[in-house]
Amino acid sequence: MKKDQKKSKEEGYIPFDPEELKNITQEGDPNDEAYELLWEATCVSSHVSETSKASGHADDDDIYPTSAQETDKMEELVNQAVAALKEPNPEFNEKVSALRDIIGWSRKRHWKLNWRIIVGVIIFIFILNHCASSKKADVNDVAEKLEIVKNWNEDNITIPLEKFEGAGWRILEKYYADAKTWKSYKLSFIAHDYYTAQKDIEYFKAELEKDKSEGTRKYDVEGLEKSTKKFKDKAEEYKELNEADFEEFQEMAIEEFEGKLDEKESDANWVKFWNIFFILLIPVYIFAARPFGYLISRYRKEANTMSKIEKIGLWLSGGLFAAGAGIGFVDIVTKWSDGSTSRSDDGTGPVRLAIKLGLFAAAVLVFCAVSCFLMLYATITGLKRNYDWGAVKAKAVEASEAIKTKK
């Protein structure tokens, strides 16, 4: 028995040992039938196995009714037991009172809100809101760049491919500022890929001249084929862009930035969707989190599993936070000849700060992720289990028919 570990009806608490009802009376006792009926009342739950019924051993986890029908059956048997009592017995009355409390609790709805989950989802909403603002700024930034491209002054430039031989990568922040800059920047990237493919061809040709196994030669042959194809494709691509007139390559640039704009808008809309989704999820979760007592009993084991998942999430989140808080900074203390001292960082300060903030961020994200999962799961199962949608639909149809009849 685990009765002494329980404190509430949600946990299956009962103030007496159900097994006492089976063995409390001797044969011929006038109250034997009454106690037998009480024992049967503790066995109406579908959680009580036939083996437990036959052996007279039922755990208090199992005696709570798990449906409206089982609740009615328990009440019926308790009433029969009271009617069958021959001699007044205070101990009997206490057990009857405890079972009636369970029956009353099972028939009522109870709030099953987890405020830690709600807090975690609210924090996640704030994070999403910040991300949505950032994504919106990205959209505006690309839209501004697109507008600049559309308003370029007509200009053109052609650059021989050989000019870029041996040139490395170059990053230009405002490569879209004017027509010449965009075109030369794009040509430099194509040329870089062209000359890279050329070097790869030379490498694979040299490798194929060596004495190698068939498997290694196959890899070199495939590499040579891919490099050759890339070499030719980049040569054609460079020629096409280099020979393009202003209208042609401006259209290319417009397509580039329109594609980026679509991508940024898609990202922003996706973040906005989840932001609105979780904002709406909270009131729906509150609405769904009001089951009948017998449903709490039916899904008690599942609730215990969800509670364990929450505890694991809290433990992991707390561990990450504690690890971050435990990272300190190392100062070098220098004592000078005049007796003064100075402090300076040992050089690891920025790295330590980055790790510290990273662990804090990970702790928050773990807490939010677990909270969102548990809220979503509780909302879906709560809506499905805690409300009779068939009856709601029937009433809606009935009301609709009544309105049509009045018309």
The verdict on 169 and 44 lying in the same domain is no
22 within domain boundaries: yes
pLDDT value at position 59? 66
328 within domain boundaries: yes
Which residue range(s) make up the domain with 192?
124-262
The verdict on 144 and 19 lying in the same domain is no
71 within domain boundaries: yes
The verdict on 34 and 157 lying in the same domain is no
Give just the sign of the alpha carbon dihedral 206, 211, 212, 217: positive
pLDDT digits 0-9 by tens, 145-177: 999 999 999 998 899 999 988 877 778 889 999
| pLDDT tops 70 at residue 121 | yes
Domain count within the chain? 3
pLDDT value at position 374? 96
The verdict on 190 and 143 lying in the same domain is yes
pLDDT band at 396 (very low <50, low <70, confident <90, very high): confident
pLDDT digits 0-9 by tens, 39-78: 889 888 888 877 777 666 666 667 889 999 999 999 999 9
pLDDT value at position 2? 44
278 within domain boundaries: no
| pLDDT tops 60 at residue 144 | yes
The verdict on 77 and 184 lying in the same domain is no
166 within domain boundaries: yes
pLDDT value at position 242? 93
pLDDT value at position 58? 66
pTM of the model: 0.79
**Boundary-marking domain end, from 54, 79, 107:** 107
The verdict on 257 and 141 lying in the same domain is yes
Percent of the chain with pLDDT over 90: 58
* 6 vs 382, higher pLDDT: 382
pLDDT digits 0-9 by tens, 201-259: 999 999 888 877 877 888 889 999 999 999 999 999 999 999 999 999 999 999 999 99
| pLDDT tops 60 at residue 317 | yes
**Boundary-marking domain end, from 216, 245, 262:** 262
280 within domain boundaries: no
The verdict on 132 and 252 lying in the same domain is yes
The verdict on 149 and 80 lying in the same domain is no
pLDDT value at position 28? 66
375 within domain boundaries: yes
Q: What average pLDDT does this structure show over 315-344? A: 79
284 within domain boundaries: no
The verdict on 91 and 150 lying in the same domain is no
